[in-house]
Structure 1
Amino acid sequence: MKIRILGAHMFESKDTRLSSILIDDILAIDAGGLTSSLTFSEQEQIKYILLTHGHYDHIRDIPAFALKNQDRTTDIYATESTLDILTTHFINGTVYPKFTEWPSSENPALKLNTIEPYKPVSVGEYTVLAVPVCHSIPAWGYQITDSKGKSIFFSGDTGPGLHSCWEHIAPQIMIMDMGFSNKSADIASKPGHLCPSLLGEELQDFHRVKGYFPRVIMTHLNPDVEDEVKEEAQQLAQQLGIEISLAYEDMTVEI
């Protein structure tokens, strides 16, 4: 399994892009930095897009992607609440076309598929499991497992309180929300985000449940505190004896 980090930050600039990752060139998770990260030929390879929740920085590039790739149907997977946000406020026939009916109802640009939590679903050659995470609106993390048994967990935006997730997943790699440094732990947790110290508590809980630590990649970074987070992440990695790294745009990882 090849994982490419398309967007690793919560703010966009010339050098930073919004949340999105790409698996094996064909399956994307979140679409904040989807089209802005890929050539047109790379976009054409995408067959499936999973959405963790309905905040703008995670769904932004869906319309641009659909407009350019309207000659085929791309499958969108999300929970009902996220799809409701997408169709009510975004691809609603006013802000953007209803891509589920456009360019035609027989051959739409997008097909929406509802995922239910804790129920594995086949998405191409992958098995996808959605688990609820802790955020300011309903949000879901995804475990993606390929045909060889390799798996990752992508948290999307989440705060502390992930104990109920751990019994359902067993990834080799966790890609986790990390928008704050430790000095802002209280601020981070209220809207549903993590800092290194909060993540450390969650990882220790995971270890108690599963008996091992996965490799961790921190994403959804705030550039203003990224240096602090990097230092705190190194301290956490040393404390737990595990590999922790910060994501960056176009970072690639293989498992």
Structure 2
Amino acid sequence: MELQVLGCSGGVGDGLRTTTMKLGQEILIDAGTGVGDLTLEQMTDLRHIFLTHSHLDHIASIPLLVDSVFEHLHEPLTIHALDATLDALRTHIFNNVIWPDFAALPHPDRPVLRYQPMQPGESRQVGELQFEMVPVNHVVPGVGYIVRNTRRVFAFSGDTTTNDTFWARLNQLDRLDMLIVEAAFPDRDIDICRRAGHYCPSLLAEDLLKLRHRPEIYISHNKPGDEDEIYDECRRVITTHHLNRLSAGSRFTL
């Protein structure tokens, strides 16, 4: 199973895409602007989207994705997310004002979009992969995911700041091979991080001290223009773990 990073930036610009990760041919974790780099055939193959939260940079491509493959779908595209996240999609996006309600099209009995609520702590099996939803600390209800198969375990923090829930659950695992975690701002913006529910390097360093595992760590979700500053600060203050910079186009074998 291949994990392909289609987008991992905290914004857009030349070569920058927002959070989108593709697992195999059928699964996305979040659906930011990185979806737009897929071919029509690749988009048609998608069957599941696991969302971390409702912010635009993580859901932006869902309306256009569904519209682009509408005529080619023979079974619904399923969105797995918190009730609050699904309610936000229904109320603010697929409301027949911003975009058609594809959960009722072409017919309420045969929709091309299906909402599947998940609760923190719940696990869901898709093929050989198991997805476990873990609560995190963001300004809107948010989660991370632990993804397992018989060989590997990786975790994705989603958008979060200082918390205990994510790290406590990771410590309960027998193994953790890879962790993708956000660091949205440099330390000079620590007040913004606290208000906006994000990590900066010093806040992330404090929370990583809680982690008993030593996975490969990939830093994600940097604000455009601040990438080098954020990564350099992370390497300075995080000395207990091996750090890597995540980039769009990265591929990992699970």
TM-score, normalised to structure 1, is: 0.91
Which residue is 2:120 aligned to? 117
Instruction: Look up the equivalent residue of 1:166 and give its one-letter code.
Output: W
Please identify, of 148-157 and 47-56, the stretch whose mean Cα deviation from structure 2 is larger: 148-157
Instruction: Look up the equivalent residue of 1:103 and give its one-letter code.
Output: P
C-alpha displacement at 1:167, in angstroms? Answer: 3.3
Taking the TM superposition and a 5 Å limit, the aligned residue runs for 1:20-39 are 20-39=20-39
Runs of 4+ in structure 1 over 3 Å off: none
C-alpha displacement at 1:233, in angstroms? Answer: 2.7
C-alpha displacement at 1:253, in angstroms? Answer: 2.0
Contact residue 181 and residue 217 of structure 2 kept, 8 A: yes
Which residue is 1:133 aligned to? 136
C-alpha displacement at 1:183, in angstroms? Answer: 2.3
Which residue is 2:206 aligned to? 201
SS in 1 for 2:31: coil
Contact residue 12 and residue 224 of structure 2 kept, 8 A: no
C-alpha displacement at 1:149, in angstroms? Answer: 4.0
SS in 1 for 2:49: strand
Contact residue 117 and residue 130 of structure 1 kept, 8 A: yes
Which residue is 2:179 aligned to? 174
Contact residue 118 and residue 168 of structure 1 kept, 8 A: no
Which residue is 2:94 aligned to? 91
CA 1:16 to 1:133, structure 2 compared with 1: closer, same or farther past 3 Å?
same
Deviation track 1:177-202 (CA, whole Å, cap 9, x = no partner) reads 11111222232122110112211111
Aligned residues between the structures: 247
C-alpha displacement at 1:93, in angstroms? Answer: 1.6
Q: Does 1:41 align with 2:44?
A: no
Q: Does 1:74 align with 2:77?
A: yes
Please identify, of 55-64 and 39-48, the stretch whose mean Cα deviation from structure 2 is larger: 39-48
C-alpha displacement at 1:25, in angstroms? Answer: 2.9
Q: Does 1:219 align with 2:224?
A: no
Which residue is 1:164 aligned to? 165
Structure-2 separation of matches of 1:93 and 1:66: 14
C-alpha displacement at 1:107, in angstroms? Answer: 2.5
Instruction: Look up the equivalent residue of 2:24 and give its one-letter code.
Output: D
Instruction: Look up the equivalent residue of 2:125 and give its one-letter code.
Output: S
Structure-2 separation of matches of 1:38 and 1:125: 23
C-alpha displacement at 1:49, in angstroms? Answer: 0.3
Deviation track 1:33-59 (CA, whole Å, cap 9, x = no partner) reads 243121112212222101111111111
Structure-1 separation of matches of 2:45 and 2:160: 29
Which residue is 2:103 aligned to? 100
Contact residue 20 and residue 35 of structure 2 kept, 8 A: no
| Structure 2 spans left out of the alignment, 5+ residues | none
- Give me the identity figure in percent: 29
C-alpha displacement at 1:67, in angstroms? Answer: 0.9
C-alpha displacement at 1:140, in angstroms? Answer: 0.7
Structure-2 separation of matches of 1:109 and 1:173: 33
Which residue is 1:245 aligned to? 244
Contact residue 141 and residue 154 of structure 1 kept, 8 A: yes
Which residue is 2:233 aligned to? 232
Which residue is 1:64 aligned to? 64
Please identify, of 83-92 and 62-71, the stretch whose mean Cα deviation from structure 2 is larger: 62-71
CA 1:59 to 1:23, structure 2 compared with 1: closer, same or farther past 3 Å?
same
C-alpha displacement at 1:236, in angstroms? Answer: 4.1
Structure-1 separation of matches of 2:115 and 2:151: 26
Instruction: Look up the equivalent residue of 1:245 and give its one-letter code.
Output: N
Which residue is 1:152 aligned to? 154
Structure-2 separation of matches of 1:32 and 1:205: 30
